[in-house]
């Protein structure tokens, strides 16, 4: 909790008999009095809290379904308690290894490819001094972000079908036949990652371009006087100027590496590529929403949430250590 407020209030507040710092001076804080003094404030707070309790905390109680053999007739509180059975059958089942592997592989590759590309793009753009060219490239590069996921996936499916532009290009390069690439296990991952690159590179560069424009221009002039070349300038001025931003963004993305979402994959995958494309979240969806196996689905989802939380907390701690800022 917070330290007690120092006994200084603003003059105006005091004259009105209302305490800016909260609480009565020199007395321990009194909750009831505080509520009475700030009725509207607490009423507004109640609305906000009610929202979070209903839509965020209530589902957390639903997690008990993970420890039940859920029956729709008996409901959440009437179903049979089975303890860790759902977890045991998931981890001893045939899919656990594959799902965890696919989730980690997609998450890590997404990070490795789609984290640096916006930075490189921003650096390349930063070297351009012609304002109009720069502005045009920027505007066009943000465009794919505004193509919705469904439409982008539809476009990807079209391009990677037999006869589609990407399939044709592959046929040309490898000398094979033009075929549906999304039906092949070797192609699913690159296509998924590159779709992310296409959609996110320009948009992701915004933040680095902003950081780059904050780098003190006088440093460059001073470096030039000292005879530093362009590479030296980039290494000693540009990169240090945005390194804290890069580190912060990297750690924040590390925290979400395990939360590969279902929405994009559900649009791209099909049964023939489950071997590489099925991740925990898509499995949770199929199990819960299509097979109505609520108990097992919740258990698998809970496993995913817990790992996600641990990763987020870890990355947050690292961030705190390194930069003194934190997300929470």
Site for another protein in 51-80 (CB under 8 A): 51-52, 54-63, 65, 76
Give the one residue of 100, 105, 111, 144 binding another protein; rule: CB under 8 A.
144
**Contact call for residue 96 and another protein (CB under 8 A):** no
Angle in degrees, CA 262, 57, 77, rounded to 5: 90
**Nearest to residue 233, comparing CAs of 217, 246, 247, 249?**
217
**Contact call for residue 323 and another protein (CB under 8 A):** no
Residues paired with residue 26 on neighbouring β-strands, in sequence order: none
Long-range contacts of 148-152 (CB under 8 A, 24+ apart): 149/199, 149/263, 149/264, 149/267, 150/267, 152/195, 152/198, 152/199
Report, in Å, the least distance between residue 257 CB and another protein. 15
x/- mask, another protein, residues 9-28, rule CB under 8 A, reads: -x-xx--x-xxxxxx-----
Q: Which stretch binds another protein (CB under 8 A): 79-87, 96-104, 106-114, 203-211?
A: 203-211
- The number of residues that bind another protein (CB under 8 A) is 108
**Nearest to residue 24, comparing CAs of 41, 46, 9, 45?**
9
Q: Which stretch binds another protein (CB under 8 A): 81-89, 94-102, 159-167, 184-192?
A: 159-167
Report, in Å, the least distance between residue 275 CB and another protein. 21
Contacts of 323 (CB under 8 A, 6+ apart): 244, 247, 248
**Contact call for residue 309 and another protein (CB under 8 A):** yes
**Contact call for residue 200 and another protein (CB under 8 A):** no
The three-state (H, E, C) secondary structure of 168-233, written as one string = HHHHHHHCCCCCCHHHCHHHHHHHHHHHHHHHHHHHHHHHHHHHHHCCCHHHHHHHHHCCCCHHHH
CB 77 within 8 A of CB 297: no
**Nearest to residue 208, comparing CAs of 248, 235, 255, 236?**
248
Give the one residue of 34, 109, 179, 256 binding another protein; rule: CB under 8 A.
34
**Contact call for residue 116 and another protein (CB under 8 A):** no
Distance of alpha carbon 194 from alpha carbon 181, whole angstroms:
13
Report, in Å, the least distance between residue 104 CB and another protein. 19
In the region spanning residues 207 to 236, those forming contacts with another protein, defined by CB under 8 A, are: 207, 210, 229-230
Chain-centroid distance of CA 111 in Å reads 11
**Contact call for residue 81 and another protein (CB under 8 A):** no
**Contact call for residue 36 and another protein (CB under 8 A):** no
Give the one residue of 147, 215, 237, 318 binding another protein; rule: CB under 8 A.
147
Chain-centroid distance of CA 134 in Å reads 28
Report, in Å, the least distance between residue 215 CB and another protein. 14
DSSP code of residue 3: P
Give the one residue of 119, 122, 191, 201 binding another protein; rule: CB under 8 A.
201
**Which residue in this structure is represented by tokens 């949430």?**
305
**Contact call for residue 289 and another protein (CB under 8 A):** yes
**Contact call for residue 103 and another protein (CB under 8 A):** no
In the region spanning residues 242 to 281, those forming contacts with another protein, defined by CB under 8 A, are: 245, 248-249, 262-263, 266-267, 281
**Contact call for residue 173 and another protein (CB under 8 A):** no
Q: Which is nearer to another protein, 63 or 84 (CB)?
A: 63
**Contact call for residue 202 and another protein (CB under 8 A):** yes
Residue 278 Cα distances to 6, 65, 82, 83, 101, angstroms: 56, 23, 27, 27, 10
Q: Which is nearer to another protein, 108 or 267 (CB)?
A: 267
Q: Which is nearer to another protein, 63 or 88 (CB)?
A: 63
């Amino acid at each position: 909790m917070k330290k007690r407020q120092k006994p200084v209030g603003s003059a105006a507040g005091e004259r009105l008999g209302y305490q800016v710092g909260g609480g009565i001076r020199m007395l321990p804080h009194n909750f009831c009095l505080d509520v009475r003094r700030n009725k509207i404030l607490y009423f507004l707070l109640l609305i906000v809290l009610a929202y979070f309790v209903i839509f965020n905390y209530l589902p957390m109680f639903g997690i008990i379904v993970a420890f039940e053999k859920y029956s729709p007739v008996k409901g959440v509180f009437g179903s049979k308690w089975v303890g860790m059975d759902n977890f045991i059958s998931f981890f001893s089942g045939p899919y656990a290894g594959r799902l965890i592997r696919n989730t980690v592989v997609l998450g890590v590759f997404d990070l490795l490819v789609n984290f640096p590309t916006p930075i490189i793009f921003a650096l390349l753009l930063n070297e351009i001094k012609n304002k109009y060219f720069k502005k045009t490239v920027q505007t066009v590069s943000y465009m794919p972000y505004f193509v919705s996921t469904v439409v982008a996936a539809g476009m990807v499916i079209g391009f990677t079908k037999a006869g589609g532009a990407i399939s044709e290009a592959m046929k040309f390069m490898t000398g094979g036949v033009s075929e549906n690439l999304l039906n092949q296990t070797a192609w699913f991952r690159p296509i998924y990652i590159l779709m992310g690159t296409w959609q996110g590179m320009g948009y992701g560069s915004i933040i680095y371009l902003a950081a780059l424009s904050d780098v003190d221009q006088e440093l460059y002039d001073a470096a030039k006087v000292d005879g530093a070349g362009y590479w030296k300038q980039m290494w000693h001025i540009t990169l240090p100027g945005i390194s804290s931003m890069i580190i912060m963004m990297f750690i924040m993305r590390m925290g979400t590496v395990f939360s590969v979402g279902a929405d994009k994959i559900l649009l791209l995958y099909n049964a023939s590529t489950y071997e590489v494309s099925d991740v925990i979240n898509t499995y949770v969806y199929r199990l819960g929403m299509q097979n109505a196996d609520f108990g097992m689905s919740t258990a698998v989802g809970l496993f995913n949430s817990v790992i996600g939380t641990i990763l987020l907390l870890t990355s947050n701690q690292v961030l705190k250590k390194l930069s003194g800022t934190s997300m929470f």
